[in-house]
Amino acid sequence: MVSKTDDIPASVPNCTAVDLAEDDETPESGRTALKKPCPCEHSAAAVVMNGDAGHDQAEEAESKQDSSGDADPGDDGNEQEVIVIQDTGFTVKIQAPGTEPFDLQVSPQEMVQEIHQVLMDREDTCHRTCFSLQLDGNVLDNFAELKSIEGLQEGSLLKVVEEPYTVREARIHVRHIRDLLKSLDPSDAYNGVDCNSLSFLSVFTDGDLGDSGKRKKKGSELEQIDCTPPEHILPGSKERPLVPLQPQNKDWKPLQCLKVLTMSGWNPPPGNRKMHGDLMYLSVVTVEERNVSITASTRGFYLNQSTTYTFNPKPANPSFLSHSLVELLSQISPAFKKNFTALQKKRVQRHPFERIATPFQVYSWTAPQIDHAMDCVRAEDAYTSRLGYEEHIPGQTRDWNEELQTTRELPRKNLPERLLRERAIFKVHSDFAAAATRGAMAVIDGNVMAINPGEETRMQMFIWNNIFFSLGFDVRDHYKELGGDAAAHAAPTNDLNGVRAYGAVDVEGLYTLGTVVVDYRGYRVTAQSIIPGILEREQEQSVIYGSIDFGKTVVSHPKYLELLEKTSRPLKVQRHCVLNEKDTAVELCSSVECKGIIGNDGRHYILDLLRTFPPDLNFLPVEGEELSPESQKQGFPRQHRHRLACLRQELIEAFVEHRYLLFMKMAALQLMQQKANKESKTAALPESISPESVSDSKPTAAPEASEKASEAATPAFDSPTSSESTLTPEDTAESEAALGHETPTSESQETSARESSAVPTMTANGTHEPTIPESQNGGCDSPLEGKEADEAIPGLAQAKELAESLAADDGSGIDPKSREVVLNACKAVGSISNTSFDIRFNPDIFSPGVRFPEDSAEEIQKQKQLLKDGAAFLVSCQIPSLIKDCLDHTALPMDGATLTEALHQRGINVRYLGNVLEFVDKMPAKPQLEHVYRIGITELITRCTKHIFKTYLQGVELSALSAAVSHFLNCFLSSFPDAVAHLPADELVSRKKNKRRRNRVPGGGDNTAWASLTPSELWKSIASEALSYYHFTLQCESADQAVEKYGLQKITLLREISVKTGIQILIKEYNFDSRHKPAFTEEDILNIFPVVKHVNPKASDAFHFFQSGQAKVQQGFLKEGCELINEALNLFNNVYGAMHVEICACLRLLARLNYIIGDHPEALSNQQKAVLMSERVLGIEHPNTIQEYMHLALYCFANGQLSTALKLLYRARYLMLLVCGEDHPEMALLDSNIGLVLHGVMEYDLSLRFLENALSINSKYHGPRSLKVALSNHLVARVYESKAEFRSALQHEKEGYTIYKNQVGEAHEKTKESSEYLKYLTQQAVALQRTMNEIYKNGSNASIMPLKFTAPSMASVLEQLNIINGIIFIPLSQKDLENLKAEVQRRQQLQDSGKAEEHQEDSQLVLDDKLPVDD
């Protein structure tokens, strides 16, 4: 999967994060970061605007840039724009039959339909579905916006009027009642349907976190808290139970309202009954065992006289005619009435985030055994191709292609338009992903007829619900030269990455197909939307651009060249010529495989984007080509399974960024030399270019630059600003060294690095309106600015000005010497232009079968060199930078997924995993990277196992699936040496039990080959797969050896393999280590889920607000930051609905700000939402969820809810043990938190166990001399002091004191504090000793001095908690606080009023909060 943060413009990360909590660095380094003002002193919103490659925002951005320096005017600009979306709400009265009128807060943007939704959700009106709303007797149109309705105002009375039913309305009603009855039943979440997913937070908070006002305070009753955690959570425990992963929620013991509710077998009504208004018949068995038959008629529901075997549709006596099914059932079943009311009370009390559907399905890898209940709606849905409520859409099946493309064509000139557009795009994408997943499963399960049924199964293609499905096999030797089936398996994901990249550039007039890649039961299925008209004609006729035979025949088309030219800059693709079969040159602006087809709808589509990015030469041996020495040293090039290995987009961004820095350095160096040679002449140069002319220059030299709004504000040497370009401290150091300056301290850079996009970038965006001093400084936002040796700055400044002026006016009026400087620098870094910095790649280099014209030989040679450099850059810069980030804990992977993400963010493909591990292995600091090594080995083993499992499953017939999967897992994880497969007994043939089933002759010959797998064979295959795919030698031949040698955990291996392959297992304790019986039986395998990859459309405006909010917060403008982040939250909700990972990041940051400002209840409420959302959208044991739990515990403690805080911390610790084990740097933080809270509730012995564990982990991972270790020592000393064991306390505090003295010097406040505390401890120890002596001497009549034994105050514990969690409080005046609180509340109300919006959302953008406070 492509990095989670694919298309994020890196326009703000240049703001150095003020990360004061990095304890390892000297506090000095933190200071430097504070002094340096953020280079983006323009209104942050403006800077951000320009980073967006997609929108024509140049004018808008310009207008916002006037306010350099103070942010308010700029922000007001945004306010104006945003206000359009949320006019102030008003209140209406609603009168429903049989209930008291009640008030409802609405906003003018809402549709009438949204009031319907609210009423269908409210406890007292939830049983109504078929009604209209009337104002003064006029029926309101469902799809009208409230503001367009005449006479609707504050205080209007809307009446709910029951309407007659139709068949459709009756079915919707029954479906809705079924949903209400099932509302607390988690089975949909376990089965992974209807976008339900699990959440367990409420189990641990026991409703403690209510609305801020009505919270039960539990601060005072310390005595009642039971603090002892279960045994398996204590430090040092080797037990890793699975059952606590899903604690039983007492609400889930469902209240039974009915035994059975199903469609009757008498449906549909015969003609004569239709004419009496019968719509359909239902059968119901009540809890009291009463069987009734119900007629749904146009007037409502009533009892009829039918029984199971006789049809008598006449109304019974009494018929209990009711408009709603609930009213009818309440009259005939007292148990129904009682339980339904209780159920609805509980349903309404749940947090909405526990109920709202997620935008993409999340699957759980464990589930309890759930009873399969009768369910008419589910049964009906299973056999219709409709998805859920799609009968709401007129015209039945959806034309996915039309929907996907039409939403792209929506206007996007201003903010409201863009929000509408992005919301539509997002909604269609999430629906399409759901439909495609369902279709792919149907295809593999054999429920869809092929469109070419005569061919063998591997070759078949399918169409279902207007989606085209193909299997990932090499059909008709299409990929023969590229690696056959392996290439056919890799191509869909490459293609998806291409679709994602082109989608992010978002060029008007260029269309890509909706694409989803589904892995299910060992098969890879690609689902695509269908180009109109493509099925009627042959492919040869329709392709008017590109090649259908990998470059033998090639065609081109001017319109395509024009459209693709617009993408070539952001995607770094070079225009080039290739030869076709007639040896004539054809010009392309993409790889040859990229095909252009004009659909019958007249749209220009591009497809087969599998080579959007250039090939990775490290994995592509080419005859007669030598790689650079860095690559060769690491043993490259290596043979790979297929020839489609390409570089990641992130790598290309980072590489170009790196080259840009070099380019500036080269130019600066040459200018310096010229200056030395010709003092007088060059002195005039800077003056000749006034800063104004530079900043206003619109690039004319490079015409294509003006086509992209994102470049409009950047000079033509286009510093790459699209995705997260990462520039590693190494590179900087390296290029600096080349210039002979002193290298800036790497600490100050690390402080700004953050998990998500590594390191500060340098972008040409710093040149908006440079104030005079800034442009004298080169106006470059580089992390080097102001820290270099002084003499470098004039050179850099001139280089920058020179490059800009060349761009500005064809370079006329600039002396040839300077032009030569740029020319040389361009040549040196491999730029494709001689007058400006511009690096692009030719994706066709080294493609088999592609030939280039003679006259471009030199250019091709350059391109080849560029590719070799790129491959070398990955090995020599990116991998070391990743390891370095792991060493200083800016990257903290916890499981396979987060490790993969860390690799991807730096542009490293997972096929380099073996290299990364070898690199770690050779590091002198390997002990400090043990966690990374262990996670890496786990990932490597489970990925190899996944490859083997894929082919293993393809040979299994459906009836043997659970037996085969359990057998495979036994071979993989169980210590039982001769795991024997239980061939499933034929359930249908009675057999005498003494016939052992495994002796039965396998009937299907081939179909039972899976049963012969043995553990030793499987582990041999894993080792050979590791060697051939990752070039890594695994030194283990069984699960037990792997555990022994690499310190892995079997439960972690089980989690990783299940998540990767979609296996769902029964949640119970598995005994992996028994040598007498296998761990798994076939009953333990509950399900196989699909693993789905798709595009994640982004909310660009919201994201920009979020980024500028982060930037503001980093500069210490908390209030502005808070406003921007609140704005971002509004916009995110507008685009994604209520549930989404990005909203989760937003809430976490808001909670953190609330906490810093001192609004603890608000922090608690926001963080609770963040936890729920993380559980629902990312999964209950995702590393992100673990961190959210930790934050929530801190805010709970601050709010005086100590027992809840402890429960949450214990939960986080349990999850962490399961996901990565105890030996992990993050565990030290968690244990310090637990230890502190326990210290606060006076559980000293327990507290010591956790704190001492934290101390040992900190010493291991941060080195014994780190400031973290000093702090750990201090915390331990405090507990010993409370226990009056002064000798131990002194010993620990001395350790801490020594570290402080050596690291920060005598004068530092930390050192002074420590020495004070030492004195105090010494006095206490002496006093205690005196008292003891006195007692020894005088026996019982000794005069004992009263000793001070202090229980720690909550305030002091909280203070320590804040320190270890990296939260620094910034003193604000009381007035600031009041204003801010008022502002936050106002926003909150606005947002709640806008909450009734439809709920949908997306996956995987993990933005880490870069607060001035993050650890």
Q: What is the 3-state secondary structure (H, E, C) of 260-320?
A: EEEECCCCCCCHHHHCCCEEEEEEEEECCCCEEEEEEECCEEEEECCCCCCCCCCECCCCC
Six-digit token pair at 313?
Answer: 């549709």
Task: Give the angle subtended at the CA of 61 by the CAs of 56 and 64, to the nearest 5°.
Answer: 155
Q: Which residues of 719-747 are buried (b: 16+ CB within 10 A; e: fewer)?
A: bbbbbbbbbbbbbbebbbeebebebbebb
Burial of 856 from C-beta contacts in 10 A (0-12 / 13-18 / 19+): middle
H/E stretch holding 92 = strand 90-95
**What pLDDT, on the 0 to 100 scale, is given for residue 818?**
79
Are 982 and 998 contacting, i.e. CB atoms less than 8 angstroms apart? yes
**What pLDDT, on the 0 to 100 scale, is given for residue 618?**
95
- Please identify every stretch of the chain with a pLDDT value under 70, giving residue numbers as ranges: 1-87, 207-225, 250-254, 383-396, 539-540, 679-799, 802-814, 983-1007, 1340-1350, 1369-1378, 1380-1381, 1383-1384, 1387-1415
DSSP H stretches of helix in 305-445: 325-332, 334-349, 352-355, 376-382, 400-409, 415-444
Name which of 115, 117, 120 is nearest 326 in CA terms.
120
The amino acid sitting at 17 is: A
Per DSSP bridges, beta strands 291-297 and 300-303 are antiparallel
Name which of 749, 753, 766 is nearest 800 in CA terms.
766
Are 922 and 883 contacting, i.e. CB atoms less than 8 angstroms apart? no
In the sheet where 510-512 sits, what is the strand order?
510-512, 604-607, 595-598, 543-545
Q: How far apart are the C-alpha atoms of 732 and 984, rounded to whole Å? A: 62
**What pLDDT, on the 0 to 100 scale, is given for residue 1096?**
94
**What pLDDT, on the 0 to 100 scale, is given for residue 1018?**
95
Q: How far apart are the C-alpha atoms of 11 and 657, rounded to whole Å? A: 13
Phi, psi of 469 (to 5 degrees): -120, 135
Burial of 958 from C-beta contacts in 10 A (0-12 / 13-18 / 19+): exposed
For the packed helices 649-677 and 729-739, what is the interaxial angle rounded to 10 degrees?
Answer: 20
**What pLDDT, on the 0 to 100 scale, is given for residue 1374?**
62
Six-digit token pair at 1288?
Answer: 């131990």
* Predicted TM-score of the model (pTM): 0.81
Are 780 and 664 contacting, i.e. CB atoms less than 8 angstroms apart? yes
Sign of CA dihedral 1320, 1321, 1324, 1325: negative
Name which of 343, 347, 322 is nearest 98 in CA terms.
322
Integer angstrom CA distances of residue 1378 from 746, 1118, 1276: 40, 13, 38
Integer angstrom CA distances of residue 1069 from 974, 1052, 1066, 1097: 13, 14, 9, 40
1034: alpha, beta or left? (left if phi > 0; alpha if psi -120 to 50): beta
Six-digit token pair at 565?
Answer: 């030219």
Name residue, tokens 């629906």: 431
Please give the DSSP secondary-structure letter assigned to residue 998: G
Q: Which residues of 107-125 are buried (b: 16+ CB within 10 A; e: fewer)?
A: bebbbbebbbebbbbbeeb
Q: How far apart are the C-alpha atoms of 471 and 541, rounded to whole Å? A: 24
Q: How far apart are the C-alpha atoms of 684 and 244, rounded to whole Å? A: 74
Phi, psi of 1007 (to 5 degrees): -65, -15
**What pLDDT, on the 0 to 100 scale, is given for residue 177?**
93
Contacts of 145 (CB under 8 A, 6+ apart): 108, 109, 110, 111
User: Residue 706, SS3?
Assistant: helix
Q: How would you write 456-509 as a 3-class SS string?
A: CHHHCEEEECCEEEEECCCHHHCCHHHCHHHHHHHHHHHHHHHHHHHHHHCCCC
Q: How far apart are the C-alpha atoms of 596 and 563, rounded to whole Å? A: 11
**What pLDDT, on the 0 to 100 scale, is given for residue 6?**
38
**What pLDDT, on the 0 to 100 scale, is given for residue 792?**
43
| Residue-wise pLDDT tens digits, 570-608 | 999 999 999 988 889 999 999 999 999 999 999 999 999
